[in-house]
A = this chain, B = another copy of it.
Amino acid sequence: MMVFKRLADLGGWIALGLFAGMAPVQAADVVTTKNIGLELANQIAMASVEACRKDGYQVSAVVVDRNGNLRSAMRDDLAARFTLQIAQEKANMVVMSGLKSGEFRKLRADIRPELNHIDGLIVMEGGVPITAAGLRIGAIGVSGAPGGDKDEVCAMKALESVQERLDFAE
């Protein structure tokens, strides 16, 4: 089975494809991947919406699987329809980079204008990896709070609320 780990060392060479750091040279004919299930995706999306509500914000939250395909999307009652696209593309940015979208934004300002042009990507804060048993199984993106940092807080709170479930997922 093919596995990739989130590397600890981000110093100096963080970039697109980081997540591929430990891929083997010789690929197998069949690749086994682990992906987030629907119930867990829904749980994380709704917990993000609720965390933002507690902070007084109405947001959209979107969970994509590790291939960057949508799994769960929710738009709160007063969140503008545009927040759905933003949330989804923040989550995809995590799939692309292997990092929180906010971290990536800080590390790679040089290619931020270009990646914004790629279909399905936006380089904004508020996307966070979903990791289970050491494997990234998807990503959550949040949009609508007053500032991407606040979006990210909601996503992080949501992940904390399911931490045990993530630790023991299999």
Binding site for B on A (CB under 8 A): 2, 4, 13-42, 46, 49-50, 53-54, 56-59, 67-86, 92, 95-96, 111-114, 116-124, 132-133, 137, 143-148, 150, 165-166, 169-170
Expressed in whole angstroms, the minimum distance between the Cβ of A2 and any Cβ of chain B is: 6
Q: Which residues of B contact A165 (CB under 8 A)?
A: 29
Say yes or no: B57 contacts A81, CB within 8 Å. Answer: no
The answer to whether B122 touches A170, judged by C-beta atoms less than 8 angstroms apart, is no
* Residues of B with C-beta under 8 A to A34: 30-32
Give Cα A144–Cα B59 distance, bound, in whole angstroms: 28
Copies in the complex: 8
Task: State in angstroms the CA–CA spacing of A22 and B165 once bound together.
Answer: 25
| Contact residue among B67, B77, B82, B86 (Cβ-Cβ distance under 8 Å from A92) | B82
State in angstroms the CA–CA spacing of A27 and B72 once bound together: 14
Q: Provide the bound-state CA to CA distance between A36 and B32, in Å.
A: 9
**Given A29-B36, A29-B132, A38-B77 in contact, is the A16-B70 Cβ separation under 8 Å?**
no
The 10 closest A-B pairs by CB, nearest first: A15-B146, A20-B58, A17-B144, A73-B73, A29-B169, A15-B147, A29-B40, A25-B53, A27-B37, A30-B169
- A150, B133: Cα distance in complex, Å: 30
Q: Report the separation of the CA atoms of residues A114 and B101 in the bound assembly, to the nearest whole angstrom.
A: 13
Nearest Cβ on chain B to A128's Cβ, whole angstroms: 16
| B residues near A2, Cβ cutoff 8 Å | 77-78
